[in-house]
Amino acid sequence: MAHLLGTDLEVLTSALQFHQQGLHPLLVTVLNTWGSAPRPAGSLLAITASGRHAGSVSGGCVEDDLFQRCQQGEWRTLSGPSIIRYGVSQDEAARFGLPCGGQLELLLEPMHDLLHWQDLHERLQAGEVLERQLNLQTGQASLEPLLNSQTSAFTSTASRVRKIFGPQWRILLIGANHLARYVSQFALALDYQVQVCDPRAEYGEEWDIPQAALTTIMPDDAVLALKHYQRTIILTLTHDPKLDDMALMEALNTDAFYIGALGSKLSSDKRRERMRYLGISAENIKRLHAPVGLDIGSRTPAEIAISILADITARRNRRG
């Protein structure tokens, strides 16, 4: 799993591969949803007339219809952006598997400007976070570095579509151990930017996930480098108080969205007591998620990683 890509980058990688094979892909973006919809606005799907595809815009039935219409050549001569809708009537919503009368508005975009898409792909691979704006009347698109990290990931109007490509959320892991390996892999699949901090040479030498950059600076310095970035998750995973506490002392005084520490309830209580002794306010100590993760009876590193990412996801979706 070391080479998992974030969803958007994965779709773009496949789309460019389709291009190289002469398959002329069509990029489909979820533009708007009403009621209940399986995929959020901004989700991507690349399709070709040969049936090759990557990504998704629904639970499957809408994709099947798109594949069939694409294979029949309905959009063969499409020269610019086009919008189609599904689930306008109750019968159509049921036919396409849209729950609770949901409706779906999709943007179809031929990928004629290959240089534009290659530029986007290369810059995403380099770790950039980019804002792409598309003029729906002219079909002209622009790419700019994202300046405001708190902005919405996707917006659309009658004339313009704006989508953020690249990870807007960051995870800093203290410890390059077995658990960190699974957390990194799952986080990369969820399109986080992942950084791993471990000054211990014996751990750093074994780290081999290039998408999750390893730094060997001290944990408090790694936290301070991200202290002004609110969309940050900081997780201490070493079980070594000398390293974990060093990070937590700084993390609990930042605006980080989520701060978690691995350990049992007993060790977590002792950690909170150490934080109080070190002068961290009671209010800030309350921000610490320890033991970290949802209680799902997890025992293996993979299960613990799932419990951690599940808790973070629930809180990001305001269900925690």
- The pLDDT assigned to 96 comes to 58
pLDDT at 146: 85
Supply 241's token pair: 């108080």
Which CATH number, 3.40.50.10490, 3.40.50.170, 2.30.30.90, 3.40.50.720, labels domain 170-316? 3.40.50.720
pLDDT at 61: 79
Q: For residue 168, give both structure tokens.
A: 């807007």
What's the rounded Cα separation, in Å, for the pair 56 and 76? 20
The distance from CA 71 to its chain's CA centroid, rounded to whole angstroms, is 31
Sheet with 258-261, strands from edge to edge, namely 212-215, 193-197, 170-174, 232-236, 258-261, 288-289
pTM of the model: 0.73
Please give the Cα distance from 305 to 294 (Å, whole number): 10
Q: Kindly state the DSSP code that residue 41 receives in the 8-state scheme.
A: T
* pLDDT (0 to 100) of residue 269: 96
As a whole number of angstroms, the distance between CA 195 and CA 247 comes to 14
Going from N- to C-terminal start, the domains of the chain cover: 7-165, 170-316
Q: Which helix (H) or strand (E) holds 241?
A: helix 241-251
Which residues of the chain register pLDDT less than 70? 1-6, 36-37, 88-102, 149-150, 319-320
Q: Residue 317 and residue 311: Cα distance in Å, rounded?
A: 10
Per-residue confidence (pLDDT) for residue 1, from 0 to 100: 32
